[in-house]
Structure 1
């Protein structure tokens, strides 16, 4: 796709992209410092409170821009991204200047930070990285907690941007857990929300639902309000006890109700804006139908609960319309995920399987040899291939799939986000400051199958 009208515009944008990539590389390089590892890659012997203290130290140097923002803080195991995205669109429809901070990104870092209809401009991103360097230098020299990580520094950058943009509301997605997540540097929130509790990041948060819930409840602020659609009685009792200690109000909604709608109604948003916002909400790689013939669906499901949701949605909305079409599955997962149960659930769905991996250096990918063993057990009559390059896996599937076939790629948002570049490059996202593809639909709405 030609993005430019003339050579000068092309050359100027190329310089912007180069500078932006250098800025991202700089933030990523913070991980190579002995004290620059983030909470999700931490040494298990390290007291986790250190990570939040490290973020607070940086925010104090920046004069705490987060304190001037009205924040909606969203945590939970599954559905955080959907809730954040819908709330962003609802508030925008109602006329508010709203910012949102999500993670991780499908293709490029600016996708995490959005105000109104636009992602942060790459040149603004680079400017804020330069602005942060003196504070990071002070942290390196004087902070007893060490240098902030990529995620912690990016959180600070987002807060600076939202304050500069004079946002009336900011919707924050928790990265991992809640207690020690960098977003929990905020002192207060208008609303806290926990979608539901499930098994993910068990190596960090704990191996029981009660332990995971305890970590996620860390976002509840004193005298605050917590919304949840968690329905299990034992967990709700834990929620109630924690909220009582914090003098906070707990509002539990039915599991099949919309969390974003309930929060918007609490904020006094009119129903017409709620409806318009939810219809406008778009989340890349979330049951995203990106091509018609063959039908290509990208979904970043990366834990068993999300895989189960994906299977149910696929069976209801796709399989019923195309009951006899061949299903190609591209599957890869992170080594720190419950990839065994994910594979056992999703592999039997397919008529042809291609096992691959994500290619993010900072995160380990599940063993392809071990995934192949599971495929042989649960789908012994299905052809299963291994492809070490995810983009080669996609090219192979598209080359061999017939016009009426279905291709589903899932298991890792990192992997699926990289595959998405076939339809929308990083350069196009940076230029448009949008990751929406014309003719592509997320969440299966509208349908064209």
Structure 2
């Protein structure tokens, strides 16, 4: 379908929603100026005021076109920090573990934090993005800070920055910069023993990189992501990631492709930093006692290995372990060209480490929820490498589940993607999962976001995100047509090694939501909804005991195929994979588990 036709259809949908009897004023909500600061100083007011620090979509595009010296951006971050009442050297007290990477860095941080908490240490943990509530980004001892603490520190920092404005320093830090500064204040005031800090994007020019003296640094698996900011090759991305290395600070990474590993080594040598490769997790296991991980998926093993090295090195350098017992001779970091970094020492993990790996939790990553006949497979994968890992995890997990006796099993993909990612490439990787339906929706939980300030996003408009969903649907339809003609699951080309034996249902002839009949690809089962809630309502058909579908509030019913709804109502098992965006995952978890919003 042409882009003009997609846009016309999307605009028709938009007008339809706006004209519904009880529909909220979406045009004002998503396209108007941002809200003014509320006079009160409670948690909801703090979130609404924080949202005013988001930049609008047009300004973001201008920044991309006119991006100046990245080093100047770091200097600006230091200026904001000082205006808030801190100096860069104050951050040295936080005993920071600084972690970057393309995929898995959040899991590495979660493993590392949980291990060190098992040693009786008071931990701080700063990560992004949040799934349900923004206070998830700043954690003490593994728990998001309370609404009271968030409000207290938010207003302290915000008011200080407001009061230090002058003719030369009139700006306020943007959303992520502000939260980073606030996290440093929280950790210092709450007197944590250490802080695990996850890089936002990249490394070299990320605002977290004002940290001068971390205790240890880590780099998880590298891949292609955020190309408009970090560069369009994996070597350029590796250079950005290696930008967090600091003189005299040991750094660890997992096995990487040859060229990006060379770049990391060059960055380490340039910064007088010792870089080491993590051994496979197998090296830390006893034959009679394999290590159990709290996070599912084989790809988590390299994340766990990196976390073990980061935790051990932190404990060594801060004097919490017997150095004489654990220390191995570290090789000279000045390695000849073309030689990979040396392997880090293998050691025997103690009980706090073993239990820490097993007890690690990290919502939205390889998470399975059993809700009656509906099983949710939730993973925020959004790069080619992480989608590949997600497909392997989903396939293995689904195979291990008990099969319905009558064989009536349906598989549904719920997908969205944000940023400058190659949607068609990601969707192509999901084809081997053999979904009966593909459902696309924006990351908004409801058509109206009233009362949901934690998940408001002023960087996009409803028009933008619905157009993207229709484009994603079009990509999927083309892939399905190319894959198998009238019955894609019976095509030999659809078989992938290790993926055989799946139930191959008869083709389901459902109509396309918001697409006229003349444009419908043969035998396509894809649908677009304006929000996550409407998508879940159709997928579950009232059969998920944990999901309470909201009242329609006068919105027109969706022209969804009756045959599809009937099949979902009658299937013994419905398996739903939610992936493509952590923001989508957060919205789904918010609706499936209301306790996360409390």
Residues 216 and 313 in structure 2, CA contact (< 8 A), matched pair in contact too: no
1:33, 1:147 within 8 Å by CA — same for their partners in 2?
no
Distance 2:169 2:244 in 1: 24
Q: Structure 1 residues 197, 262: closer, same or farther in 2, change over 3 A?
A: same
Structure 1 residue 342: Cα displacement: 1.0
Cα pair 1:103 1:112 within 8 Å, conserved:
yes
In the alignment, the residues of structure 2 paired with residue 38 and residue 353 of structure 1 have an alpha-carbon distance, to the nearest angstrom, of 31
TM-score (norm 1): 0.85
Question: Do the aligned residues in 2 keep the contact of 1:223 with 1:249 (CA within 8 Å)?
Answer: yes
Give the corresponding residue for 2:582.
413
Aligned: 1:58 with 2:80: yes
Counterpart of 1:234 in structure 2 is 259
Deviation at 1:377, TM superposition (A): 2.0
The answer as to 2:390 corresponding to 1:315 is: no
Change (3 A) 1:39 1:78: farther
- The equivalent of 1:357 in structure 2 is 442
- Whether the 8 Å contact between 1:107 and 1:421 is mirrored in structure 2 is yes
Contact 2:136 2:143 in 1 (8 A): no
Q: Counterpart in 2 of 1:336?
A: 420
Q: After TM superposition, give the deviation of residue 285 of structure 1 in Å.
A: 0.8
- Superposed displacement of residue 429, structure 1: 3.7
Instruction: State the distance in 1 between where 2:356 and 2:582 align.
Output: 24
Question: Which of 222, 233, 245 is the aligned partner of 2:270?
Answer: 245
Shift, 1:40, TM fit? 12
In 1: Cα distance, 2:394 partner to 2:54 partner = 38
Q: d(CA) in 1 for partners of 2:256 and 2:116?
A: 27
SS for the counterpart of 1:267 is helix
- Mapped to 2, the partners of 1:184 and 1:372 lie a distance apart of 39
Determine whether 1:272 maps to 2:351. yes
1:291 Cα shift?
2.7
- Deviation for aligned residue 1:120: 0.8
CA–CA distance in structure 1, aligned partners of residues 436 and 402 of structure 2 = 14
- With over 3 angstroms needed to count, the CA separation of the structure-2 counterparts of 1:146 and 1:53, relative to structure 1, is farther
Rg bigger for which structure? 2
How many Å separate the matches in 1 of 2:394 and 2:413?
12
Alignment of 1:29-178 (within 5 A): 29-32=52-55, 42-61=64-83, 62-64=85-87, 65-137=90-162, 140-141=165-166, 146-178=171-203
> Could you tell me which residue of structure 1 aligns to residue 294 of structure 2?
none
Runs of 4+ in 1 over 4 A off after TM superposition: 37-43, 142-145
Task: Name the counterpart of 1:389.
Answer: 531
Instruction: Give the Cα separation in 1 of the matches to 2:212 and 2:168.
Output: 21
- 8 Å Cα contact 1:40/1:176 also seen in 2: no
Runs of 5+ unmatched residues, structure 1:
1-16, 432-449
Q: Distance in 2 between matches of 1:262 and 1:145?
A: 43
Shift of 1:355: 1.5
Do the aligned partners of 2:437 and 2:525 also contact (CA within 8 Å) in 1? Answer: yes
1:25 paired residue number? 48
| Counterpart mapping for 1:258-297 below 5 A | 258-268=305-315, 271-293=350-372, 294-297=374-377
Tell me how far 1:271 sits from its aligned partner.
2.0
For residues 156 and 392 of structure 1, the distance between their equivalents in structure 2, rounded to whole angstroms, comes to: 37
Q: 3-state DSSP class of the match of 2:184?
A: helix
What is the CA–CA distance in structure 1 between the aligned matches of 2:225 and 2:81, rounded to whole Å? 29
Q: Find the aligned partners of 2:170 and 2:266 in 1 and give their Cα distance.
A: 32
Q: Is the 8 A contact 1:226 1:248 kept in 2?
A: yes
Please, which of 468, 474, 495 is the counterpart of residue 373 of structure 1?
474
Matched with 1:11 is: none
Partner SS, residue 316 of structure 1: helix
- Counterpart CA distance in 2 for 1:408 and 1:213 is 30
Shift of 1:337: 2.1
Q: Secondary structure at the match of 1:259?
A: helix
Asked if 2 retains the 8 angstrom alpha-carbon contact of 1:178 and 1:216, the reply is yes
Q: Does structure 1 residue 346 correspond to structure 2 residue 346?
A: no
Cα gap change, 1:166 to 1:241, in 2 (>3 Å)? same
- Answer whether contact 2:217 2:310 (CA < 8 A) is retained: no
Q: For residues 253-296 of structure 1, what are the alpha-carbon distances to aligned partners after superposition, in whole Å with 9 as ceiling and x for unaligned?
A: 24654211222233346521111111111111111112342111
The structural deviation recorded for 1:405 is 1.9
What's the secondary structure of 2:389's corresponding residue?
A: helix
Moved more, 81-90 or 269-278: 269-278
Give distance in 1, aligned partners of 2:156 and 2:371: 44
CA contact (8 A) 2:135 2:144 kept: yes
Structure 2: runs of 5+ lacking an equivalent = 1-39, 281-300, 316-320, 322-348, 445-456, 482-486, 488-523, 542-564
SS at match of 2:530: coil
Count of residue pairs the alignment pairs up: 413
Contact 1:76–1:195, Cα closer than 8 Å, also in 2? yes
Higher mean C-alpha displacement, 92-101 vs 359-368: 359-368
- Equivalent of residue 326 in structure 1, options 410, 418, 422: 410
Distance 2:155 2:400 in 1: 53
